[in-house]
Amino acid sequence: MKYIGEHLLPGQLGHFLVVLSLVASLVATIAYFKASNATSPQDHDGWKKLARMAFMIDAGAVLATFSIIFIIIANHFHEYFYAWNHSDRSLKPKYLLSSIWEGQEGAFLLWTLWHALLGLVLMRTAKKWEAPVMTVLSFAQLCLATMVIGIYVFDVKVGSSPFLLTRHQFQDAPIFSGADYLSQPKIHNGNGLNQLLQNYWMVIHPPVLFLGYASTIIPFAFSIAGLWKKDFGGWTKQALPWSLFSGAIFGLGIMMGGAWAYESLTFGGYWAWDPVENASLVPWLIMIAGIHTQLIYNSTGHSLRATHLFFILSFLLVMYSTYLTRSGDLQDTSVHAFVDSGMNWQLRAWLFIFIVPSLVLLVARYKKIPHIAKEEEFSSREFWMFIGSLVLFLSAMAIIIPTSFPIINKLFGTSLVIGEDKEFPYNRIQIFVAVVIGILTAIGQYLKYRNTTKAYFTKKLLWATVVSILVSASISYFGNINYNKYGLGFLAAIHLALFATVYAVIANAAYIYTGLGGKLKAAGASVAHLGFGLMLVGILISSSKKEVLSVNTFNPLNFGPDKPREGFENLTLFRGVKTDMGKYWATYVKDSVSENGKITWFQVDMERKDGKDKFTLYPDLIRNTKGQEGMSNNPDSRHYLHKDIFSYVNHASSVQEGSDTSQFKNHVVQTGDTVFYSEGYMILDSVTINPNNDKYKFTSKDTAIMANLTVITKEQQKLTARPVFYVRNNGPQYILDTLYSQGLAVGLTRVADNKHLEISVKESSRLTPFLALKVLQFPFINLVWLGVVLMIAGFVMSIVRRVKLL
């Protein structure tokens, strides 16, 4: 059958380019390997020339493949399953990019693209290390190419192709029986993009994070090259700018993810010890440890073995984190994780291929790696830098082991769990890591390599220490830092960590002037340490002083027995009703719906009771995609220099599915009788003839009666309902009285006799639009983001300086 409207050429070209990339990376791997082992300059140069050509072909093929994927998605060629499954016609252009890395194939292509670009730079800069380093990188390209090849070898599927046709994916579906299947709405419109990715951070965060992932292979490749060629330490100075680059871009990518989580997720912050967050953090911590031991070796000759170990582990843990997130093993514990794609055997093989040879090579060469038998002096910089690196390594292990519990349980049949409070097991350890790292970051640069005299150290650091004690004590006291969620011991640790991190900021700022004489070009490390300390200060203050502003002590919505407190941290707002919210008045003004009907925005006006501030929040709910039901929350924040007001909607009646099926129930009563409803009861107190008040304007010429009812809620709150019955144009008329907070509509529907009235009562959550809003205040959260910026700036300064020194 000839199908109407299909564009088959892009897919055919894409298939060809993926195969070309696979073959070119294989040729590059073999040629670079031959060049590395060549015994004559002629053979070396010949093989290297071939390898370079093959790698450039691979890079071009990868770039072209990535471009074709974007063209297919941007033009809505939904005959391709990848485009149909990860996008739709209603998406804004910027989110079409996000559609590429929503799926595994696009993510692997993005990773491959960064490898290709980094490899092109290495070809021009690696000098004598080009051949062995590029052998490792080319082999990684070969492995990544197999992930998107999408072929069967002896009935075993290798990779998953992004160019698979939709009708091939669903071969037996009736919709494809017609030649014009592309015109059918289900195919024409597309399956959509995951609602969590429809945020501008997800346009820039994944590329940066994947560049961080990709960059870890370069220090790894240098280390493997050094072990392979038995030039164990000759690579460290050449590789230092690369390891600094990896630390910078990887850290930036992780914190961009934190910013995305802060704006898109509702765990109330930027970090929740989510398993996928942890899987990214761990290799970065070990990379930072490796950078410090690398600096130690370049200056003193110590810690070369540790440098090899850390750089190898950093890359291997990146691959392990890739397995964790893409194997489906974490899909029940993380909002980030992929479901099982059927590629687990290939992911495991990829892990095995890199883990076993690299660790075997490290063990085999370990004793031959130069090692200075003399121990470092206790007062030397290298001793404490190594201690700091070791602490970072142990911190990483304390994170990755609990994160791997699902894998451990699956392999060994155990039932290890973190516990109900998933944050505490990490916080109770990492708070002390912050203490140690903060102090070492503060004093480290004041120490000299090999030995430091006590007089010098005391003189240089005395004033910074005194000022840090005063500043941190002031913050603790005047800032009322009394975070006692985990008891007094944890509170004491927070105060100690606050001193350590403030110490890191002040001591490093002082060192730029006292130790470096204000020479900013040489201050990259100090600026990075200052930024890191400032980031930790922001984390400690914003987390320990996070305040729930929307505490609801009246009519809290029930969020179930597993989250009993949630109902008390969500303020119920009825449209148009100004509601007391502690320090603020909150008014749910209106909601608006996007053109495609998928996003509902809510306008909530906020006003401080002292009249000093007014602002509007626009949190929204976005309809879930990918077959999921319901809505997902998108927070909104009001940003100040010293705090953020963070809000999100937990529930909104205006986006409930289905229609209101509630019915009125009739009760014939007389004065003094009681009518019960599910949340309380009401008493008919009296009847008023022709009421004339601020609500009703009847006169003696009218025929109207008003029932005066007192409503007693289950919280023993007294409310009033005044429904009216009147006659106009010889017909009965009714005016309902609605108690929105109780979901009640009360009517006076007829006069039964001279003593009895008929009262009609309806209970419904849809009498008027309402929403459950959670509002948090994060004090000094901008210190977190400022610290990140300064940390990355310090990395960049160090990279520039180290490149000039090569």
Q: Over the stretch 713-737, which tens digit does the pLDDT of each residue have?
A: 888 889 999 999 988 777 888 888 8
Give the angle subtended at the CA of 372 by the CAs of 368 and 378, to the nearest 5°: 145
Residue-wise pLDDT for 600-640, tens only, equals: 999 999 999 998 899 999 999 888 876 666 788 888 999 99
Q: What percent of the chain has pLDDT over 70?
A: 94
Of 241-250, 465-474, 557-566, minimum mean pLDDT range: 557-566
Residue-wise pLDDT for 247-293, tens only, equals: 999 999 999 999 888 887 766 678 888 888 898 999 999 999 999 99
Identify the pLDDT of residue 329. Answer: 62
pLDDT at 509 > cutoff 80: yes
Residue-wise pLDDT for 753-802, tens only, equals: 888 999 999 988 666 778 889 999 999 999 999 999 999 999 999 999 99
Q: What is the mean pLDDT of the chain?
A: 89
Pick from 623, 588, 586: nearest CA to 602: 588
The predicted model gives 70-99 an average pLDDT of 93
Confidence of residue 657 (pLDDT cuts 50, 70, 90): low
pLDDT at 567 > cutoff 80: no
52, two tokens: 């370079």
Identify the pLDDT of residue 342. Answer: 64
The predicted model gives 400-412 an average pLDDT of 87
Pick from 782, 458, 524, 529: nearest CA to 646: 782
Of 179-188, 345-354, 568-577, minimum mean pLDDT range: 568-577
What's the one-letter identity of residue 157?
K
Identify the pLDDT of residue 626. Answer: 67
Residue-wise pLDDT for 187-199, tens only, equals: 999 998 888 788 8
Separation of alpha carbons 441 and 533, rounded Å: 8
| The total number of residues written for the chain in this structure | 806
The predicted model gives 305-317 an average pLDDT of 97
Identify the pLDDT of residue 564. Answer: 43
Pick from 211, 262, 351: nearest CA to 792: 211
Residue-wise pLDDT for 201-244, tens only, equals: 889 999 999 999 999 999 999 999 999 999 999 999 999 999 99
Identify the pLDDT of residue 248. Answer: 97
Pick from 587, 551, 585: nearest CA to 571: 551
For 2, 76, 182, the CA distances from 178, given in Å and listed in that order, are 10, 20, 9
Confidence of residue 573 (pLDDT cuts 50, 70, 90): confident
Identify the pLDDT of residue 252. Answer: 96
pLDDT at 658 > cutoff 60: no
pLDDT at 5 > cutoff 70: yes
Write out the DSSP string of 711-770.
EEETT--EEEE--EEEEETTEEEEE-EEEGGGTEEEEEEEE-SSS-EEEEEEE-TTSS-E
The predicted model gives 405-430 an average pLDDT of 85
Identify the pLDDT of residue 106. Answer: 94
Identify the pLDDT of residue 479. Answer: 84
Residue-wise pLDDT for 324-349, tens only, equals: 887 766 655 555 555 555 678 888 89
Burial class (CB in 10 A: 0-12, 13-18, 19+), 484: exposed
Identify the pLDDT of residue 630. Answer: 75
Confidence of residue 420 (pLDDT cuts 50, 70, 90): confident
